[in-house]
Amino acid sequence: MDDIRIETDATVRTITLNRPEKRNALTREMFDALVAAFEREAPAAERLTVLRAEGPSFCAGVDLGQRSGNDAREGHSPLELLCAAIRAYPLPVVAAVQGHAIGGGMMVALSCDFVVAAEDAKVGNGAVQMGLVPAYGLGRRIASVTGTTLGRRLFLLGDPVPASRLAAAGAITAAVPAGDLAAEVDRVVGRLSRNAPLSLRAIKATLTEDEFRAAPDEAARRLIASAQASEDAKEGVLARREKRPAAFAGR
């Protein structure tokens, strides 16, 4: 599909988000294509996948114009399925992040094994500002990557932080001047591609965790379900689409 471009050389596969006019916001079709790309069997010669994006931003998250409550598959949202597929992919995945990685874009980037970002890139998840809640297992896994303090800042305040802050906290691989981003990605890719392919697979399998195994307790499950189905959630999404402050009513 035009919004996702996949290119492969002898050892490196590159997946490019190609919807720059919408800041690479993810549609249902893009989710389907990306999940399929990460669920496919990796060829023996492959060493890694690079996930990058065209335009000034990496990814603005889920396309709000397509968001609905009927997108879940087997109890999991398309975003959960994509992040799980990236985590479960048998080889390392390197994210190259510029501009913004917001909402689901942050979740996708931080689900990758390596994140190389422009130091001025903004990373955040504003679900709380729209009356929404990140999926339980996925939210907990991302917080384990960022650390508790930074995770609370990202999820409870909902304000984006510069990639340099994430790099300083050890939550991403590197944050470099924007002009050096491509070169730093190439450096990481070069190092990975020189490593033993069977070792890469074995180590990736050792390090991978399935966030769906961490089930929420019943009270948390009820809170999440209530928030996701609330009038505030509808208002928050509508306000974001209309570029106005949301008027939350607590119901």
Residue 66 in this model has a pLDDT that exceeds 80 = no
Which pLDDT value is given to residue 67?
Answer: 61
Yes or no: say if 12 and 193 are a contact pair by the CB < 8 Å rule. Answer: yes
Per-position b or e across 3-12, b if 16+ CB within 10 A of its CB: bbeeeeeebb
Find tokens 């980037």 and name the residue.
109
- What are 75-119's pLDDT values in tens digits? 689 999 999 999 999 999 999 999 999 999 999 999 999 999 999
Which pLDDT value is given to residue 71?
Answer: 60
Which pLDDT value is given to residue 37?
Answer: 97
Yes or no: say if 7 and 42 are a contact pair by the CB < 8 Å rule. Answer: no
> What pTM was computed for the model?
0.89
Average pLDDT, the chain: 91
Residue 213 in this model has a pLDDT that exceeds 80 = no
Residue 207 in this model has a pLDDT that exceeds 90 = no
Find tokens 């335009």 and name the residue.
55
Domain boundaries, the chain: 4-179
CATH architecture for segment(s) 4-179: Alpha-Beta Complex (3.90)
Q: What is the CA radius of gyration of the chain?
A: 18
